[in-house]
Amino acid sequence: MRVLVTGGAGFIGSAYVRHVLAAHPGDEVVTLDLLTYAGNPANLAELESDRRHRFVHGDIADAALVDGLVGECDAVVNFAAETHVDRSLLDPEAFARANVVGVMTLLDAARRHNRRMLQVSTDEVYGDIPPGTHSVEGDALLPRSPYAASKAGGELMCRAYAVSYGTETVVTRGCNTIGPRQYPEKVVPLFVTNALEDKPLPVYGDGQQIRDWLHAEDHAAAIDLVLRKGTAGETYNVGAGNERPNLEVVRAILARLGKPESLIAYVPDRPGHDRRYALDPGKLRRELGWAPRRDFMSTLNDTVDWYVANPGWWRAIREGQAFADYHERQYGWRLAAAGTLPAAAG
Ligand code: TYD
């Protein structure tokens, strides 16, 4: 089969492209990516000479382009999205455009060509989950950030196309994902690269927020299973069962790097910060037999070690103007500046 992977030059998208090419020798992949700030051609560099892979530079909201590509392919997997909660608080509109209107454009093409489309979504659509409970697929969607709301909107558009037009859609809701090649605005790669440069690690609030951590390769395998075997119209949680408070993750990063805990800097909390996400992954396990291959420490250590081994990849991003500007806007200090946190320090 030939799979159209939108957002395939991003973090989980590029892990998925590699997964398909390795796991299905008869398959081909067409990657469509706009290469906005987090899409990175370097993420697919090793595939340049692979004749089963083709890269197309373009926008999922470009209806004519998308129509042609969907027509050439057998299925669509959509990773293209604005993904960072903090950026969504600074600029919500970009999130509605990419994560709702972009999804709708893909759905229009999937509908016209009668193709299956998998929409990659997030556990954040469930909102803040109280201790002791886990989200199941039928739970209410109660997003609390512009990012989460836009992802819920994209999912609901899939549902509407499935019901109204009979378009074959499946949705995955993944938990926090880490691994090689994640843009260093997300907490784990930000903290690993800050620590490698002996810069402070800005922990929001009390650092007791809980996330469930999944390796990108495990996430990619789950998405692929749902694409091929999932029931049309259904949604599947992709959770790892690795719930950890942020501070524990931060301490494990510092321990792996041999860096001191004095690098931890408590800063004011993110507005509306969800305390906990926690998925029940039972449906995916029961119905499709999926389980993650890595445990928490192997997931985290593989991630940390990749950044240690690939400084060229992340330095090219961190030394660029766009990242420096975002960082200063978000944290109040320029990365290039030596060590201390000014006003933001708690
Ligand atoms: P993030 O990687 O932004 O993912 P999400 O908010 O989508 O789960 O953040 C993960 C957790 O880390 C979240 O609880 C917010 C926290 N965090 C910090 O404490 N400091 C930071 O600088 C960032 C980016 C996140």
The string of pLDDT tens digits covering residues 247-263 is 999 999 999 999 999 99
Q: Is 295 a catalytic residue?
A: no
Give the pLDDT score at 346: 38
pLDDT digits (tens, 9 = 90+) for 192-210: 999 999 999 999 999 999 9
- Percent of the chain exceeding pLDDT 70 equals 97
Give the pLDDT score at 333: 86
Catalytic residue among 28, 59, 86, 123: 123
Rounded to whole angstroms, the Cα distance separating 57 from 68 reads 14
pLDDT at 39 over 80: yes
Spacing, Cα 339 to ligand 1 middle (Å):
21
pLDDT digits (tens, 9 = 90+) for 211-221: 999 999 999 99
Number of domains in the chain: 1
Q: What's the Cα-to-Cα distance from 209 to each of 30, 128, 193, 298, rounded to whole Å?
A: 38, 10, 21, 21
- The dihedrals phi and psi of 266, each to the nearest 5 degrees, come to -80, 125
Mutation to probe ligand 1, out of 11, 89, 204, 212 (largest number of atoms < 8 A from CB): 204
Give the pLDDT score at 343: 45
Q: Does the residue 164 lie in any domain?
A: yes
Q: What's the Cα-to-Cα distance from 136 to each of 63, 127, 233, 236, 284, rounded to whole Å?
A: 34, 12, 16, 9, 11
Q: Are 128 and 180 in contact (CB under 8 A)?
A: no
Q: Please give the average per-residue pLDDT across 332-346, as a whole number.
A: 60
Q: Does the residue 217 lie in any domain?
A: yes
Host domain of residue 79: 2-178+212-238
> Which CATH number do you get for residue 174?
3.40.50.720
Q: Does the residue 303 lie in any domain?
A: no
Q: Does the residue 126 lie in any domain?
A: yes
Looking at every residue in the chain, the average pLDDT score rounds to 96
Whether 15 is in the pocket of ligand 1, judged by its Cβ within 6 Å, is no
Q: What's the Cα-to-Cα distance from 44 to each of 47, 134, 257, rounded to whole Å?
A: 6, 35, 27
Q: Does the residue 264 lie in any domain?
A: no
pLDDT digits (tens, 9 = 90+) for 58-102: 999 999 999 999 999 999 999 999 999 999 999 999 999 999 999
Q: Please give the average per-residue pLDDT across 321-344, as a whole number.
A: 77
Pairing of strands 116-122, 75-78: parallel
Per this entry, what is the length of the chain?
346
Identify which of 132, 250, 120 has the alpha carbon closest to the alpha carbon of residue 174.
Answer: 120
Q: Does the residue 20 lie in any domain?
A: yes
Which pTM does this prediction carry? 0.96
pLDDT at 115 over 70: yes
